[in-house]
Structures are given as C-alpha cells and as structure tokens.
C-alpha cells in the first residue's frame, strides 16, 4: 500500500507539473501571438497601408478606419482559435501515432510538447515584423503575403497567390518544428530520438501535406481567377 501510495503521489505531482507549466506556456504563446498581431496592426497593416496597396477596406472614402477597428477583434479571435485547433490536432495525431507504436504517453504531455514547439514559429513572425519596412520601402499587401523568411516561396518571383500558403509552409522553421516535436517525445517517453523522429515523420508530416493540399485546392476552387 505504501509503494502504491508513493507511485500515485509521484504520478499526481508529475501531472500537476505538466498541467501548470503547460498552462503557463500556452498563455505565454497566446500572449506573444496577440502582441505580434497588435504591433503588426499598428505599425504595418494600417488602413493607410491597405489604401496605398490598392486594397481599400471600404469603397467609401474615410470609412476605412472604422471598418478596420471593427475587424480587429475578429483578427485576435480567429488567430487564437486557429492556434488552439492546430495544437489540438497535432496532439491528437501524435498521441494516436504513439498509441499505434505501443508507446505510452499522456495526451497532456504531448500537448505541452506541441505548445513549446510552436514557439519556433514566433521567430519568423518577429523577423518579418522588424524587417518588412527595410526590405520593402514601399511595400504592398502582396509583398506582405509573399514575405516569409526561409521559405520556398522566396525562390519564386511570379507565382499565383493561391500557392503562397503551400510554398510558405515549406520553410526551415517547419523542419525545425519536426525535430523539436521529436526531441520532446523522446524526453517524455522511452522511445529514443530516432524513433520519435520517425513517429513525427510518418504521422504529422503526411497530415501536414494533406492540410496544405486541401487549403490550396479550396483556394483555387473559391478564387479560380487568382490561380
């Protein structure tokens, strides 16, 4: 009974550790994401920027600022919703892959790994925010959508807008994300790094490819003129 009680207490403490640290990491990730959106909205993607890009927010002169302010809350909500859904799907995919590989690990631990790994995508976001005006003195909305540090999109000068997402998704930070996920799995399971990396490559990467293909297909379907 004493041994059972010690094991139960140890597992309980471990669960509390992952819960509190996971909650803190998630709050920090969401907070930094919202901060970057706020800074981008105030210093780059302003109503004047849309006007100068030939993409006014409204057909009525002078009403763009009001529409811009009304849309800002939805920008934050959609960004947070997207991030939470992404983390949940990554957790589900990796947890299922571990289960099929006879690797015992809780979904909570995988979720925390997914949260910590996602911090890598803040790096290109910060770089983009800090360097965009230097890279594009008279930048347009098209330049903003195209610019992504270390992505395959930088190798193509003339390509339809519908392919931006697919080529941006093929970037150095995405590859780094795979290795961070694998390292995290190797730390919380008995699987080594090589096996953890194989799990990521045979589960998350194919799912990512399907997601990219689906987004590109529906973009071409809904906006055929830009394809």
Instruction: Report whether 181 contacts 114 (CB < 8 A).
Output: yes
pLDDT of res. 138: 83
Query: Contact at 8 Å (CB) between 162 and 219?
Result: yes
pLDDT in tens, 55-111: 666 554 555 556 666 677 788 999 999 999 999 999 999 999 999 999 999 999 999
Q: How many Å apart are CA 216 and CA 205, to the nearest integer?
A: 16
- pLDDT for position 4: 44
Look up residue 106 and give its DSSP letter: -
pTM of the model: 0.83
pLDDT over 60 (residue 174)? yes
Would you call 137 helix, strand, or coil by DSSP? coil
């Amino acid at each position: 009974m004493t041994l059972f009680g010690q094991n139960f207490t140890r597992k309980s403490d471990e669960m509390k550790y992952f819960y509190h640290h996971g909650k803190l990491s998630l709050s920090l990730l969401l907070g930094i994401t919202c901060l970057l959106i706020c800074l981008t909205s105030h210093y780059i993607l302003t109503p004047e920027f849309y006007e100068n890009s030939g993409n006014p927010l409204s057909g009525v002169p002078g009403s763009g600022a009001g529409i811009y302010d009304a849309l800002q809350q939805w920008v934050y909500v959609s960004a947070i919703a997207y991030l939470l859904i992404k983390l949940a799907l990554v957790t589900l995919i990796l947890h299922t892959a571990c289960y099929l590989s006879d690797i015992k690990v809780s979904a909570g631990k995988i979720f925390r790994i997914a949260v910590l790994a996602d911090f890598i995508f803040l790096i290109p976001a910060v770089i983009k925010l800090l360097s965009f005006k230097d890279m594009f003195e008279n930048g347009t909305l098209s330049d903003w959508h195209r610019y992504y540090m270390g992505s395959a999109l930088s190798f193509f000068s003339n390509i339809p807008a519908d392919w931006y997402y697919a080529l941006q998704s093929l970037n150095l930070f995405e590859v780094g994300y795979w290795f961070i996920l694998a390292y995290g799995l190797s730390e919380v399971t008995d699987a080594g790094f090589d096996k953890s990396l194989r799990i990521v490559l045979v589960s998350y990467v194919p799912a990512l490819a399907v997601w990219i293909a689906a987004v590109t297909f529906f973009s071409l379907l809904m906006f055929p003129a830009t394809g």
